Amino acid sequence: MVLQKKKMTKERFLKAFKRDKYLYLLFLPILIWYIIFCYLPMGGLVIAFQEFSPGLGLFKSKFVGFKWFIQFFGSPFAYRLVRNTVLISLYSLVFGFPVPILFAVCVTELRNTAIRKTVQTVSYLPHFISTVVVVGMIKNFLSMNDGIINNFIALLGGERINFLMDPKYFRTIYVASGVWQSFGYSSIIYIAAIVGIDPSLYESAKIDGITKFKEVWYITVPMIAPTITILFIMQLGRIMSVGFEKVFLLYSPGVYETADVISTYVYRKGIESSEYGFSTAVGLFNSVINFLFVFGANQVCHKLTNTSLW
Amino acid sequence: MILSKKKNDIIGSFSDGAFYALVYVFALVAFFITLYPFVYVLAVSMSGGEAINKGIVWLYPVDISFEGYKQVMFNNKSIWLAYGNTIYYTVVGTVFNIVATVIAAYPLSRTTFSGRRFFNFLIAFVMYFHGGLIPTYLLITNIGLYNSRWVMIIPGLVTSYNVMVCRSAFSAIPDEIMESASIDGANDIHILSRIAIKLITPTLAVITLYYAVSHWNNFFTALLYISDSNLHPLQVLLRRVLIQASSELMDNSTGLEEKLIVSLQVRYVTIVVATLPILAIYPFLQKYFVKGVMLGAVKG
């Protein structure tokens, strides 16, 4: 009986395999790619628990347990890095999140189609400019001697400010330029949600003689509230993942106090100083926290909407 | 009664007027703020050195001069070398991306494909958790991709997100089409290459664009894995010139004073030269980007 069942599963499997052989053939290279480039590095995370030396390799390096984690959390950097990472995300969320919503409401109220299209198209543009160029513009605009911002301050009779070397400006620069880069593109989804609202709601409101302000407040905002909620939760889930590139390109040793985030620290320790074990441990700590946040956010969204990314 | 309605109307239309004024002001401010940095960069790139030095260029070029363009474009060939590399990585990389994404997504979209659930989990999981910088770095340097053109293409072969978008496009093809093809004796490879792929071209256009933009803008991969400057893409050169203020694109024969003026202009010219192709094709492509957001939204 059991034997027969076993035989049947085997037969079924063979039959399925024969039927799907071309699908397997297609998928095989991708499977291999995923194993090599995504799953092997996950295996490589054991480095976080080793005194890793590239000469000895993964299997012969000495196992040191949680040494690197203890070292990291015992250092003054742990607090600073987590604080900077969280604060940069949090400020980006607080200042960056409402702008696309406000912009979407305004854009959809523009009655002149040509103006509306132009404003919209231009607003997406910064999203497609590379981080290097964006940071290049920021640095040159803020430059002490010949940047436009300081030229303007000087024109008004003010004192030139060394924005890029003063830690107290870093987050402002990062967040403000981040809003500039993303508000237009982020607004697309809200615009679609607003356009999708049933026009009869507005028509009946008009008959009741409601003002435009009230219309936005009592119809538009409640109707796009689900979209807002979902996007807010997803952003909260990314609170521990600050994009490496922009911080890396924008910061300098003088502003590490407010600018250095976990990913840039891992880069310096791992790639520049070759402290593989230690930096892998720090990176792993970040990955795990990230995973928990994103997973949690996804679960909450799932509960709210019965859809999920998973 | 009638009077009070009239009064309400007046208040209403006044308030609506304020509403529209606010809406237009906000939209125009957003428009201006988005566009101004580009306008300013363009203005400085075409101005005369003295005007730049005096800081009187704000909105339009003053004493129009193309000295900066001459230096950046004709003085040495490094920007063209970097340009060529970026075009190479973008074209070859995107072709690889598309082929790989399609052959990943098609099997996963077939409901009969055994192992589908497991493979779907396999590709979704890496969106949430990955090995991180150091293990990946050690892997890539150990398999001989360091300082190879392939490093710009192979490690970023597919993005799980794009595979999922492509998968949903395949899933949306009506079953009858596939069935009739397979009754006619076509195998899966035929169905994919002759029928299915043609039915998802709108999605493919969006994905192509996403991959191409990310290749064009890719800076980090080259920073990590390419030290040979002959292989450097544009973004790495841009970093040296714009952010580290390298003077490599400048004419070395000019005097120090002149150099200071020109150095700013050279940087702005470099921005123009590097972003102009994107700005030029952007208006024609932007509708696909918008579509891309919606593809993702439907999926989510």
Residue-range domain boundaries for chain A: 22-65, 75-305
Contact between B211 and B94 (Cβ < 8 Å)? yes
Same domain, B161 and B191: yes
Task: Summarize the confidence of residues A238-246 as an average pLDDT.
Answer: 89
Six-digit token string for A201: 């709601």
Of the candidates B37, B112, B134, the beta carbon closest to that of A279 is on B134
Are A54 and B138 within 8 A, CB to CB?
yes
Whether pLDDT at B9 is above 80? no
**Which positions in chain B touch A44 (Cβ < 8 Å)?**
131, 134-136, 138-139
Which one has a higher pLDDT value, B251 or B218?
Answer: B218
> Residue B97: which domain range?
76-300
According to the model, what pLDDT value does residue B183 have?
A: 83
Higher pLDDT: A112 or A2? It is A112
Contacts with A79 (C-beta within 8 Å, 6 or more apart), sequence order? none
Q: How far is CA B40 from CA A126, A232, B37, B155, B298, in A?
A: 15, 34, 5, 37, 38
> What distance in Å separates residue A214's CA from the closest CA in chain B?
10
Lowest mean pLDDT among A101-105, B48-52, B100-104, B208-212: B48-52
Q: Over 60: is that where the pLDDT of A66 sits?
A: yes
- Which of A17, A27, A286 is closest, CB to CB, to B104? A27
CATH of domain A75-305: 1.10.3720.10
pLDDT at B67: 86
On whether both B235 and B285 belong to a single domain, the answer is yes
| C-alpha B149 chain-centroid distance | 20
Q: Is B281 within a domain?
A: yes
The lowest-confidence range among A255-269, B12-26, B78-92 is B12-26
Mean pLDDT of chain A: 91
Q: Find the DSSP H helices in A125-211.
A: 131-141, 148-155, 167-195, 199-207
B160 and B236 assigned to the same domain: yes
Note whether B233 and B207 are same-domain residues.
yes
Report chain B's mean pLDDT, rounded to a whole number: 88
Interface test with B, best of A124, A128, A214 (most B CBs within 10 A): A128
Number of domains composing chain B? 2
Judge if B37 and B85 occupy the same domain.
Answer: no
Residue A109: count of CB within 10 angstroms of its CB: 20
Nearest to A241, CA basis, from A72, A85, A96, A81: A85
**Whether residue A309 has pLDDT greater than 50:** no
* A161 — pLDDT class (breaks 50, 70, 90): very high
Distances in Å between the Cα of A73 and the Cα atoms of A161, A212, A273 are 36, 54, 19
CATH of the domain at B166: 1.10.3720.10
In this complex, the residue of B40, B134, B219 whose CB is nearest that of residue A245 is B219
Q: Is B82 exposed, middle or buried (0-12, 13-18, 19+ CB in 10 A)?
A: buried
Q: Are B164 and B245 found together in one domain?
A: yes
* pTM to 2 decimal places: 0.91
Q: Write down which residue in B32, B65, B98 finishes a domain.
A: B65
My answer on whether B167 and B88 are in the same domain is yes
Residues B284, B213, single domain; the answer is yes
- Return the amino acid letter for A159: E
Report yes or no on B70 lying in a domain. Answer: no
Task: Kindly state whether B264 is in contact with chain A, defined as any CB-CB distance less than 8 angstroms.
Answer: yes
Least confident of A137-141, A280-284, B108-112: B108-112
B130 and B91 inside one domain: yes
When pLDDT is averaged across residues B77-99 and rounded to a whole number, the result is 95
Mean pLDDT of B275-281: 85
Q: Which of A130, A191, A291 should we substitute to test contact with B (largest number of B Cβ atoms within 10 Å)?
A: A130
Query: Hey, of B42, B52, B133, B141, which one would you mutate to test binding to chain A, going by the most A CBs within 10 A of its CB?
Result: B133
Tell whether B4 and B99 lie within a shared domain. no
pLDDT of residue A310: 42
Report the range of poorest mean pLDDT among A36-50, A57-71, B77-91, B175-189.
Answer: B175-189
State the pLDDT at residue B259: 61
Instruction: Give chain A positions within 8 Å (CB) of B9.
Output: 209
Taking CA B86 as the corner, what is the angle to CA B97 and CA B253, rounded to the nearest 5 degrees? 175
Cα separation, A59 vs A203, in Å, equals: 71
Q: Are residues B148 and B95 in the same domain?
A: yes
Cross-chain CB nearest to A20 (options B31, B112, B264): B112
- Alpha-helical regions (H) of chain A: 2-19, 21-34, 40-43, 57-60, 67-74, 76-96, 98-109, 113-124, 131-141, 148-155, 167-195, 199-207, 212-215, 221-237, 244-250, 256-259, 262-267, 276-305
